[in-house]
Amino acid sequence: MSDLQFSSPKSVKEAVKILFAAKGKAKVLAGGTDLLVQLRAGRMTGSMIVDIKNIPELRSIKKEKNGFTVGAAVSGAELGAHKAINKAWPGVVEGLELIGSTQIQGRASLGGNLCNGSPAADSVPGLIAAGATCKIAGPKGLRTAKVEDIVLGPGKTSLKAGEFVVSFFLPTRPKRSGDAYLRFIPRTEMDIAVVGASVSLTLDKAGVCSDARVSLGAVAPKPLLVAKAARAIVGTKVDDEALTQLSLAASAACDPIDDKRGTVEYRTKVAGVLARRAATIALERARGN
Amino acid sequence: MTKYHVKTMINGDPAEFLCGTEQTVLDCLRDELGLTGSKEGCSSGDCGACSITLDGRLVCACLVLGVETEGKDIETIEGVADGDDLHPIQKHFLQEAALQCGICTPGFIVAAKALLAENPSPTETETRYWLAGNLCRCTGYDKIVTAVMNAAAEMRGE
């Protein structure tokens, strides 16, 4: 076995320096629920592990003037216990909380789930529907990117060598907004999404949808932002006809794989059904806000 | 191979060990410290047999590196009983015969203890969801869930 090094920086600056010096041979460790499995299976490349959990910025949830900043390594259990985030972005929280068991929730994070690059990552559609952005640190300083621009395909991200996600920003939504994430799996717990769907929407005073974002997971090489599905409900009262159009647009956006979890036809159909159900929940939540 | 010197608290006592980067805290507990109560089932975070708490948070010891636990508080199955006095959860596991081969048992007990610390009155459904990450191939779960519910009642003084 080669000599695997370990480093545990205490600041973003220090982490950037270590990652830069490692010349692309370092792996960033957040909750470890994917990385350690890869390490164990001999599938982890690299000669150094950089644990970013001891950087305060990566572990904190902050209420800002115009939204929330959530550290990339905040665990599912920590996010789930945060009342204000639960109230503002229930769909984002339920996405992260659906990952794995209680034990996994003690460690799994938004940053890790995103950067692992799985098309089926449960927390990513919620972030995309939320219009969340991420703050990325790297050798050239800080930059901001949309969450939908991070994953490029299975295991591949747009992060450059030495870059890592520091935090996510969830903007404050207008009144009468709601979001929801739904996942289909063949059992009730502990499985990988066959399809995931998230919808975030806002209603005006008359109950007409003024803004919406729809995102799908596990139905393409990367999580999708489906603008056409969102357009199907904007300007409507999110009635039956609008929901049918949203559902059709969601199915039309799918380009899934055939595997033991579901066939192409099945995933395509379920994506439409799930998007519709998520929109219905988001609508109820928006009416309650 | 580079070894790191790690200082932690385990079940309330200071503990130190040397470990390589790739050693999980489960490897360290079992191989470096002789604490073999936590079991290695799947090594991929699926079975829960290695459940421990890390700074009070329930985790799989197989998904935590030993080097990550520097300065952390670890609790394992070895810290559940008070000397010869079994914890109510342990007593009810015996009373209900909630185990057969016993490999999953330490993980279930540690996970159940974490549940009752957070929620002293869980419903059966809450208990089953909380324990969904602990797999048992012998009992069929009913006896385990009954044991946890009975222990919760006893701990509430009912």
ipTM > 0.85? yes
Please write the tens of the pLDDT for every residue from A199-217: 999 999 999 999 999 999 9
Q: Does domain B88-155 have CATH number 1.10.150.120?
A: yes
Q: H or E element: which one contains A110?
A: helix A110-115
Answer yes or no: are the C-beta atoms of A91 and A180 closer than 8 Å. Answer: yes
Domain A5-52+60-171 is found in CATH 3.40.50.620? no
In this predicted structure, the answer to whether residue A2 has a pLDDT above a threshold of 80 is no
Q: Which of B66, B98, B63, B61 is nearest to B77 (CA)?
A: B61
Contacts of B76 (CB under 8 A, 6+ apart): B10, B11, B29, B35, B37, B38, B52, B61, B106, B110
Q: Is the dihedral of CA B35, B37, B40, B44 positive or negative?
A: negative
- Per CATH, the number for A177-288 is 3.30.390.50
**Domain edges within chain B:** 4-79, 88-155
Residue A104 has pLDDT above 90, yes or no: yes
Q: Which chain B residues are Cβ-neighbours of A1 within 8 angstroms?
A: 1, 22
- Using one digit for the tens of pLDDT, what is the confidence trace for A137-163? 999 999 999 999 999 999 999 999 999
From A86, A186, A77, select the one nearest A126 (Cα to Cα).
Answer: A86
CB contacts of A106 in chain B (<8 Å) are 54, 57-59
Topology match between the domains B4-79 and B88-155: no
> Cβ contacts (< 8 Å) between A59 and chain B: which residues?
none
Could you tell me which residues come within 8 angstroms of residue A91 by beta carbon, excluding any fewer than 6 positions away?
Answer: A126, A129, A130, A178, A179, A180, A181, A198, A199, A200, A278, A282
Q: What residues in A contact B44, CB-CB < 8 Å?
A: 37, 40-41
Question: What chain A residue is nearest to B66 in terms of C-alpha separation?
Answer: A6
Residue B133 to residue A102, Cβ atoms within 8 A: yes
pLDDT on residue A289: 86
Q: Tens digits of per-residue pLDDT, A42-94?
A: 999 899 999 999 999 999 999 999 999 999 999 999 999 999 999 999 999 99
Amino acid identity, residue B3? K
Q: Which of B21, B55, B113, B125 to mutate to test the interface with A (most CBs of A within 10 A)?
A: B21
B18 touches chain A (CB under 8 A): no
Of B51, B63, B132, the CB nearest to A189: B132
Average the pLDDT over B57-65 and give the result.
98
Question: What is the Cα Rg of chain B in Å?
Answer: 16
Q: Which CATH superfamily is domain B4-79 in?
A: Beta-grasp domain (3.10.20.30)
Domain ranges of chain A: 5-52+60-171, 177-288
